[in-house]
Structure 1
C-alpha cells in the first residue's frame, strides 16, 4: 500500500511539472540553439602534450654535469649534489626559461584573421611578419589603455600597406622591410615568403615578459610516475602548431641552458686543472731533483736492496767468523795433541779442518802408524821396517805440526780481517734507518705529487671528452603533439549542459514560483487545505477576446464546465427538495474580484438552457456587478428599493434578461446607506420564499463574506452556498475563513467553486477531452494558457 501511495504521489508531483511541458520544450530548444551558436562562435582550445625524461646524473656530482663531477672528485663541491625532480620542474616553469622561449618564437606579436564570425589567430599563416626592434614598456602601457597596441595591416593596392590603429582609427602608410616608428615601439614588417595571400590581419604587440607570464600559468608539468623522472608537459591553445612550438622550444631552451651550464663548468674545470698541473709539475720536478741528489750523495740506487745486502753481508761475515774460529780451535787442538810426548798414536781425522794437504798428511800419518802397529804385532822396535816407519812417522809428524802452525797463523789473520769488516758493515747498517727515513720522506712527496699529477692529467682528458661530447639533459620521449578532440568547448558536454539547463531552469523557475506562491492554482491546493468542504466545479480561464458568457448550444470548455457544475449541484440538492418550490443558491467569496458574479450569471444561463425557470438576484447592495452584463438595467429599481418601500411589487422589479427568455434579473437597485439593516429584515426571507414558488432556481449574488456581514445575515435562506475562489488570486490562508465560517455556523452547506483555472492546471474536463466535438486550441494558445 505504501508503494502504491508513493507511486501516486510521484505521479502527482510529475504532473505538476509536466503540465508546463511547453516551457520545458522552449527551454531545451532555446539552450540547444544557444549551445550551437556558442560552439559556432567560440574558439576551440586543443590540448598539446609533450613528454621528456630528465637524465639522472647522480653517479658523479649529483646531476651537476661531468665538469661538476670532476669538481666533486676533487672534493670541491661537498654538499651541492642534488637531482630533485621538483627543482627541474621549477626550472622548466621559470620565468626566465619562458621569456627565452617567447623571444625565440617571437610570440609577443600575435596575428588574427579579421574575416568570419570569430577572430581566429593565424600564427605562421599570416601574410606579414612584424618584428619588434625596440619596445618602450611605459609607452606600451599607455597604448594598451588606449587600445593602440593593436593595429590592422591591409594591402594598399601596391607594395605598401595601410596600418590602422584599433583604438584611435589613425592610419599610416608603411612599406615592408623598413623601420617603422610607432608611439610605443620600433617595428619592422616583413613579407611571409611561405604565403602568397594578401588579406587584412589584426596585429597585437605585447611585452615579452607579459606574454611569458601568461604562458607560464597555462603550461602544466606533471610527474607521470612516482620515483621516476618522466615528465609530461601540457598546454591548451586554440592554435595547435603554436602550442607545439612552445613546448618544443621550452624543452630546447632547457637543454640548451643545461648544456651551456655543463660546458661552462667544464671550461672552468679545464682552467682549474691546467693551473693545478702547472703547479704540481713544478713541485714534482723539485722533489725528483732532490731525490736524485740524495741518491748521488749517499751512493744509493735502491736503499731497501742495499740494506738487505748489508744485512746479508754482516750475516755472512758472522758465519765466516764462526767457521774460522772453529778451524782455529780444531787446529790448535791438533797441535796440542801433536806436541804431547812423542807418542805415535793416531791423529783425529775428518774433524773439519779446511785444506786438503793437512787432511792428506793426517791420513798418511795415520796410515803409517797403523802399518807400524801391525808390524809391531809380530816384531820388535828394532825391526828395520819398524825403524824406517818410525822415522817416516816422525818426519811426517813434524810436517803436519808445521802445517798446522801455519794454518793457525793464517786463520788468526783471516779472523782479524773478518772482525774489521763486520765492524764496517755494522756501522753501515746503523746508518740505514736515518737514510731510509730521509729517503722515504722524499719518496713520499714524489709519489704524492706524481699521483696528483697523473690524476689531473686523467681528469683533463675526461673533461676534454665531456666538453667535446655534450648530451642534452632532457631526453625527449614524445615531441609535442596536439589532440584532435578540443579541450574545450566539447560539443557533447556543451549540448548535454544545454539540455540540462533547458530542463533545469524551467524546473527551477516553476519550483520557486510554486514555493513562493501563496495563491491557490488548482483543485489539489484546496483539497490539501480542507477535506470538509466539497469542490463542485472548476471554471476555466477565459482567453482575452473570448466571450465570458455561456450561450445556448455552447460547446466551449466554459460551457462544459458549468454543465458539470450544475450536474454536481443536483447531488448536493437531493436533501434540499421543497414541494412545489425551487432551489435557492447563493454565490459568495472571501474578497471581491474572485468571480462570484461571473459564476452566478453563467450558472443561471446554464440552468436556463436546460429549460428551468431561473431568477438571478443581485444581493450585493454595496458594490453591484450584475449591471456590467446588462448596461441598460443600471437605472432600474431592484432589491434595495423593494426592501425599503413596501409599495413596490415584486413582479414589477423583476425584468427579462437579454441572454435567455427563461432567465429573469432582479437587480440590486439603488445603493442604500444601510445595506445590512435592509438585509436583516424578514421581508428579504419572504421575498426569497415567494420567488421559490415562482421559479425553479433562485440564484443570489451576495457580497464577499470576509469584507461585510451581509452574506451571514441572509445565509439561512439558502439551500446551498457556492463559495467562489479564483486561481492565482485567492490566497491559501483565506480558505480557512470559509472553513471557520461553516464550523461556526455562520454559513452552511458550503461548496467550493474554483474560477479562472489555467488550462495547464485544469481538472478532468480539459485534460481528458470533455470539450468533445470542439476544435482543439492551437499550440500557441495552449502554450499561453499554461502560465
Structure 2
C-alpha cells in the first residue's frame, strides 16, 4: 500500500515547477494580449449580410419525363439536381460580372488613415470621381492603382507606379484636366466642395479587372439550400462594408431574375413570331376567298339546290374540309421537320393544331431541354457531364421527334389520299349538279376552313402574347439582404482567448522541454527519491555573490540557520549510532566530484560547532586541490597560517603536529586549522602512511570535534583510503550542479559501506526549492510584503 501511495500522481508536485515561474506566464500572456489588442485595432472588421430567396422554377413532375421519374420514385433526385443547377447559375461568373459592372466594384476608392483605410461605397460617396476616356470593355480588363495628394481646391499630385516594383511617379495636375495613364487618359473631378480638407491625407484609387474580381466574389459568396429538397436558398457574404455586402446580394438576385425572364421571353417571342407568319399567310388566303365568294354569288345569283345534290355536296364538303385540314396539318408537319433540320438550337413551335398530341409534348420537352442547356452553358462548358447528358437527351428527343413527325406525315398523306379518292367518288355523283352550285360550295368550304384556321391562330397568338407579357421571375425574394451590424471577423473573444492560450503555452513549452532535458539535482526531494536509505542533514541556501559566505557569532541569517539545522540533525543521528566509539568525534566531508562545495560546507560546519563552545579542529585533507585557504581568505590572511601543512607533516617525520596546527578567530569564533599544505606528488601514499593514524588518534583525544575536508570520492581514492578514521561522513551534493546519474555512485558507497555513517547535505539550494517545495523556509523577512511579494510566496 505504501508503494502505491508513493507512485500516486501528485498534481501539486507536477504543477509546482510551472507555478514557480508564474511571472513568465504573466509576462507572456501580457505580451500576447497586447499583440492581440494591436491586431484587433489595426484589422479591418468584416460584417455578414444574408438574403433568402425561393425558386419559382417549373416543377419537373409537370413534364412527361418528370412525371415518369416521379412514378419511378426518382422525382426527388431530379428536383435536387434542378436545385443544384440553379445554385450553380447563381454562382456563375457571368452573373457576378454583371453585379460588379452594375455596382462599379472594380473601381475602389479609399482614404488612407493611421489605423484603418476608409473605404467608400457607393463610389458616389468618394471625395473624388474618376472618368475614363477609354471604353468600358478596356477598363474592365485593366489593373491600375494610384494616389491623389490634394494640394489646393483645384490642384493635386497624381502618384502612381507604371508597373509593379517600379519607382513612383508624381505628376502635378488640376481637377478636370486629362491625365495620361497606362490604361488611357482619365479625368478626376472632386465630389465635395471642401476638397482642401483632405490635404494631409491620400486618396487611393484601385482599378481591378472585372474577371478577377468576379472570381474573388464567387469564392466569398455562400449559397446553400435551406433544406435537402427545399426550393429556398440562403445567400451570405462577408465584407468590410455592410452597405456593399447587401448591395451585392440584392443585385445578384436581380441579375438572376433578369436573365431568367430574358430566357422565357426569348421562347415566347419565337413562338409568337412563328404564329404571326402563319396568320399573315392565312389572312391573305381568306381575303382572296371572301372576294371570290362575293363575286361568284353576285354574278350567278344562286338561290336553291336540290335535296339530293345537297346531300352529295354536303358529304363532299365534309370530305374536302378534312382534306384541307389534313393538307394544312401536313404543311405544319413539314414546317416543323424543316425547323429541326435547319437549326439544332432553334426552338420549335408547339400547340399549333397537330392531331398527334405526343408531338406537342415532345416539342415542349425539346424546347425545355434547349433552355436548360443554354442556361448551364453560361456557367460551364460543353464538356460538363450534365451538359453532355443534356446533349444526348436532346439528340435522342430530336430523333424521336423527327421519327414521330415522319410517321405523322405518312399518316396524314394516307388520309389525304383516302380523302381524295372519296372526293373523286362524290364528284362523279354530283356531275349533274350545276357547276355554279358546286363552285359556290367549294368557295364556301374553303372560306370556312381558312376562317376556322385563322381564328385558331389568333387564339394561339394571344396566348403567346400573354405569356410574353407575364414572364415570372425565377426567384421570389423572401428576405432582402440584411445584416446585424455586428462584426464577424476578427472575433474579439477568440483572438483574446488564442492570445491567452499562446501566452500560456509558450512558457509552458519552454519549462516542459527544460524539465525533460534537466538532469540536475534541485532539492532534497530529488535526493530522497534516489537515496532512500540515507539521512539528509539539511539544505544550504544559494547565496548571492555579495553575501557573506562564513557564519558569525549570534548570526540569524538563513545561512547560519541552515547550518544550525544541520548541526541539530547531526546530533540526533550521532546519538542513535552508539556503536561509533573510536573516532566518534571525527567528521569527514566529501562529495562526488569537484565543485560541489565540500570545503565551504566543512568550514561553516566547523564554525557552527565552534559557536556552541566546543573545541573544533578543521583539517584540510584534500591534498590534490586544497580549498580551505580560499574559503577563509576573506577573514584570515594567508600569512597567519602555518607554513607546515598536512602534506609536510605526513612526509617529514621531523615535524610535530603542533607545528602544523594554528588557532584563528573567525568572525569572533575560535577555530583550529590544519591546512593541506603544499600539493605533494604522491598524495595517496602519504595518506597510507603510519602517521595518519597517529594524527587522528591524537586529534580525536585533544578536540571535541574534528572536521576533515577530504577529496571528492569519485575523482580519487584519497577519501576511501582514510575513511576508517571517520565516525561520520557528510556527503555534499550541490543543487543545480550535480547530475542525477552521479547519485548512483553515492548509493553504491553507502551500500558497500565504504564510508562510515553517510549523511547527505544539499548545498546551493534556491530559496524557492527549500524544504519540500519551497513553501516553508528558514528565517525570512517578516516585514510587510507587497501584493506581488505575497503572490510570489504563495505560488513558489
TM-score with structure 2 length normalisation?
Answer: 0.70
Rounded to whole Å, the distance in 1 between the matches of 2:624 and 2:546 is 29
After the TM superposition, which residues 75-474 of structure 1 pair with which residues of structure 2 at under 5 Å, given as runs? 84-124=82-122, 125-131=125-131, 134=134, 149-165=144-160, 168-184=167-183, 186-193=185-192, 198=198, 199-278=201-280, 456-474=457-475
Residue by residue over 1:166-193, the C-alpha shift from the partner in whole angstroms, topping out at 9 and shown as x without a partner, is 7634311233334322235543323235
Rounded to whole Å, the distance in 2 between the matches of 1:597 and 1:658 is 16
Partner of 1:370: none
Rounded to whole Å, the distance in 1 between the matches of 2:251 and 2:140 is 27
After the TM superposition, which residues 418-567 of structure 1 pair with which residues of structure 2 at under 5 Å, given as runs? 456-567=457-568
Q: Which runs of 5+ in 1 are unaligned?
A: 64-79, 308-427
Q: In structure 2, which of residues 755, 758, 761 is the aligned counterpart of residue 747 of structure 1?
A: 755
Rounded to whole Å, the distance in 1 between the matches of 2:501 and 2:650 is 66
Partner of 2:336: none
Rounded to whole Å, the distance in 1 between the matches of 2:709 and 2:743 is 19
Partner of 1:704: 712
Contact 1:621 1:672 in 2 (8 A): yes
Partner of 1:633: 638
Rounded to whole Å, the distance in 1 between the matches of 2:251 and 2:584 is 101
**Structure 1 residues 775, 625: closer, same or farther in 2, change over 3 A?**
farther
**Structure 1 residues 58, 772: closer, same or farther in 2, change over 3 A?**
closer
Contact 2:582 2:727 in 1 (8 A): no
Structure of larger gyration radius = 1
Q: In structure 2, which of residues 686, 689, 693 is the aligned counterpart of residue 685 of structure 1?
A: 693
Partner of 1:344: none
The count of corresponding residues between Structure 1 and Structure 2 is 644
Q: Shift in Å at residue 716 of structure 1? A: 2.1
Residue by residue over 1:254-301, the C-alpha shift from the partner in whole angstroms, topping out at 9 and shown as x without a partner, is 2222233333333333323333444666788999999999x9999865
Rounded to whole Å, the distance in 2 between the matches of 1:448 and 1:520 is 118
SS at match of 2:485: strand
**Structure 1 residues 221, 765: closer, same or farther in 2, change over 3 A?**
closer
Rounded to whole Å, the distance in 1 between the matches of 2:81 and 2:471 is 18
Residue by residue over 1:94-129, the C-alpha shift from the partner in whole angstroms, topping out at 9 and shown as x without a partner, is 222222222222222333332233434344453123
SS at match of 2:764: strand
Rounded to whole Å, the distance in 1 between the matches of 2:138 and 2:700 is 99
Correspondence 1:24 to 2:29: no
Contact 1:152 1:163 in 2 (8 A): yes
Q: In structure 2, which of residues 650, 657, 663 is the aligned counterpart of residue 643 of structure 1?
A: 650
Rounded to whole Å, the distance in 1 between the matches of 2:526 and 2:444 is 115
Q: In structure 2, which of residues 658, 661, 680 is the aligned counterpart of residue 654 of structure 1?
A: 661
Larger CA deviation: 284-293 vs 479-488:
284-293
Contact 1:594 1:730 in 2 (8 A): yes
Q: Shift in Å at residue 735 of structure 1? A: 1.0
Q: Shift in Å at residue 765 of structure 1? A: 9.0
Residue by residue over 1:212-240, the C-alpha shift from the partner in whole angstroms, topping out at 9 and shown as x without a partner, is 22222111111112211211111112222
Rounded to whole Å, the distance in 2 between the matches of 1:433 and 1:485 is 90
Q: Shift in Å at residue 670 of structure 1? A: 1.0
Residue by residue over 1:703-731, the C-alpha shift from the partner in whole angstroms, topping out at 9 and shown as x without a partner, is 22222222222222222222222222222
Contact 2:607 2:669 in 1 (8 A): no
Rounded to whole Å, the distance in 2 between the matches of 1:506 and 1:244 is 45
**Structure 1 residues 83, 707: closer, same or farther in 2, change over 3 A?**
closer
Correspondence 1:597 to 2:599: yes
SS at match of 1:84: helix
Residue by residue over 1:380-406, the C-alpha shift from the partner in whole angstroms, topping out at 9 and shown as x without a partner, is xxxxxxxxxxxxxxxxxxxxxxxxxxx
SS at match of 1:737: helix
Residue by residue over 1:746-774, the C-alpha shift from the partner in whole angstroms, topping out at 9 and shown as x without a partner, is 33422222222233322259523532555
Partner of 2:404: none
Q: Shift in Å at residue 446 of structure 1? A: 10
**Structure 1 residues 476, 614: closer, same or farther in 2, change over 3 A?**
farther
Rounded to whole Å, the distance in 2 between the matches of 1:449 and 1:81 is 44
Residue by residue over 1:16-58, the C-alpha shift from the partner in whole angstroms, topping out at 9 and shown as x without a partner, is 4323322333233333333222222222222221222222223
**Structure 1 residues 193, 633: closer, same or farther in 2, change over 3 A?**
same
SS at match of 2:157: strand
**Structure 1 residues 766, 56: closer, same or farther in 2, change over 3 A?**
same
Residue by residue over 1:542-566, the C-alpha shift from the partner in whole angstroms, topping out at 9 and shown as x without a partner, is 2343333333333333332222222
SS at match of 1:662: strand
Rounded to whole Å, the distance in 2 between the matches of 1:664 and 1:140 is 101
Contact 2:520 2:736 in 1 (8 A): yes
SS at match of 2:48: strand
Q: Shift in Å at residue 594 of structure 1? A: 2.2
Contact 2:16 2:773 in 1 (8 A): no
Q: Shift in Å at residue 588 of structure 1? A: 2.1
Q: Shift in Å at residue 533 of structure 1? A: 2.0
Contact 1:639 1:668 in 2 (8 A): yes
Residue by residue over 1:58-108, the C-alpha shift from the partner in whole angstroms, topping out at 9 and shown as x without a partner, is 379979xxxxxxxxxxxxxxxx99971111211222222222222222222
SS at match of 1:716: helix
Contact 1:154 1:163 in 2 (8 A): yes
**Structure 1 residues 81, 526: closer, same or farther in 2, change over 3 A?**
closer
Rounded to whole Å, the distance in 2 between the matches of 1:5 and 1:435 is 130
Contact 1:519 1:728 in 2 (8 A): yes
Rounded to whole Å, the distance in 1 between the matches of 2:660 and 2:457 is 137
**Structure 1 residues 451, 591: closer, same or farther in 2, change over 3 A?**
farther
SS at match of 2:713: coil
Rounded to whole Å, the distance in 2 between the matches of 1:782 and 1:546 is 26
Contact 1:550 1:558 in 2 (8 A): yes
Correspondence 1:720 to 2:720: no
**Structure 1 residues 210, 305: closer, same or farther in 2, change over 3 A?**
closer
Rounded to whole Å, the distance in 1 between the matches of 2:509 and 2:723 is 45
Partner of 1:665: 673
Contact 2:46 2:490 in 1 (8 A): yes
Q: Which runs of 5+ in 2 are unaligned?
A: 65-77, 297-301, 317-421, 431-437
SS at match of 1:728: coil
Residue by residue over 1:446-504, the C-alpha shift from the partner in whole angstroms, topping out at 9 and shown as x without a partner, is 99988876565444323323333444322222222223332122222222223333333
Rounded to whole Å, the distance in 2 between the matches of 1:529 and 1:300 is 138
SS at match of 2:730: strand
SS at match of 1:50: strand
Q: Shift in Å at residue 430 of structure 1? A: 13
SS at match of 1:573: helix
